[in-house]
Amino acid sequence: MKALILTIGLLTLALQSFLGAQSSTSAPIGFHSELIKAKSFSLIGVNVTNNVNEPHHRSIQEMFGPNNETGLNAGKPEDADIVWFPDFDYGYVKIYYNHALQTFPPITVGWRGVGFGNVDMSQFEPPSNRGFFIESKKDYDWYIAFGGYIKQTEMFYDVEPGMNILNKGFPTNIQLNESGIEQSEGFEHGDQNTGDVIWLYRSDGTYDRYYYTDGGHERFPPLTPGWKRFGGGDEDVGHHILSSSFIVETKGGGGEITLHPPAGFVRTRGVTDPLAPPRANLVWSILKDANDVPNFVIWWSSVSGDIIYTTEAYNGSSWIFISEQRNLPGQILSNYATLGMGWGVARVVAEYSSF
């Protein structure tokens, strides 16, 4: 998917100035949108967090809205869209939204689970760092968007023999050969018969399967080291992109798998410069404009009129300038991006003005 670069928001104030030497950078924040296939099962992962530097876990109502604001098909289980969450005790927990009182069996309005009767499932939290399926009953493809903060450290997963459904952990594009998965203790190298297999979900509803080989001429046909695709022979496919959620088919004993963040997201370690201004404390929301177009909006409070706030967006390899703003202390600054199929990530750099 392509990056959706943030556009300048309504409250943006263009400013030309020299920047001070000390600066502070906010936590990155952003969104990603996923395609849900009509009359099909789509594999999805939530790759943003509720708060800065916390694990990926959200309740049902935090993912889809307390009143189904996301717009899943509502109704009885046979008519409603079903969200399938892998669960260690139940195999899958299947959740849907009931929009009208049902008298037999008695089911009230709200998030309910197949086989759970009238139990309120709005606070149910799926396993952390895992993906899930949406079984869509709609007659057309549609999109779902998730917003939040961006993790700045590695993703760690424990995988067991069999099929493990994992989220990617980051909204941006990550290539197989950038992920570091093949370096993980819990990932078995081999060929398509002996090695662990990664299943990547594609936008047409199919899966591509991959394995990592150390190569060797004793194999037939011979393989060079690297990522290979089922049916692709010795072609190097390390540049292929991880899907939002992916499946690791563990053929070995399992263990820990590590997935590395994009280089531009890695959190700088060290002591904060005491001369730097406070970091911008970003908050976000998804709001519709006057034309009913949904936008991902960020805003923060200006601490001082002497601070210049620079919004930067991540383009997949580096951070690029979007706008500069400042205002009186306590006033609100903002920026936004129009939601569409793809992702967007931003941060705000705070620096004292030199005049």
Would you state the pLDDT for residue 178?
95
Would you state the pLDDT for residue 268?
63
Would you state the pLDDT for residue 15?
30
Count of CA atoms in the C-beta half-sphere (13 A) of 332 = 11
107: CB partners within 8 A, 6+ apart: 98, 101, 117, 118
* pLDDT tens digit sequence for 5-16: 444 343 333 333
Would you state the pLDDT for residue 55?
86
In this prediction the pTM is 0.88
pLDDT at 3 over 80: no
* pLDDT tens digit sequence for 287-314: 989 999 999 999 999 999 999 999 999 9
Q: How many whole angstroms separate alpha carbon 352 and alpha carbon 355?
A: 9
Q: How many whole angstroms separate alpha carbon 137 and alpha carbon 317?
A: 37
* pLDDT tens digit sequence for 184-201: 999 999 999 999 999 999
Would you state the pLDDT for residue 266?
79
**Beta bridge partner(s), residue 346:** 313
Pairing of strands 343-353, 19-25: antiparallel
Q: How many whole angstroms separate alpha carbon 232 and alpha carbon 239?
A: 14
Query: First CA to last CA across the chain, in angstroms?
Result: 42
What is the rounded average pLDDT for all residues in the chain? 89
* pLDDT tens digit sequence for 201-250: 999 999 999 999 998 756 667 889 999 999 999 999 999 999 999 999 99
Strand (E) or helix (H) holding 176 = helix 176-179
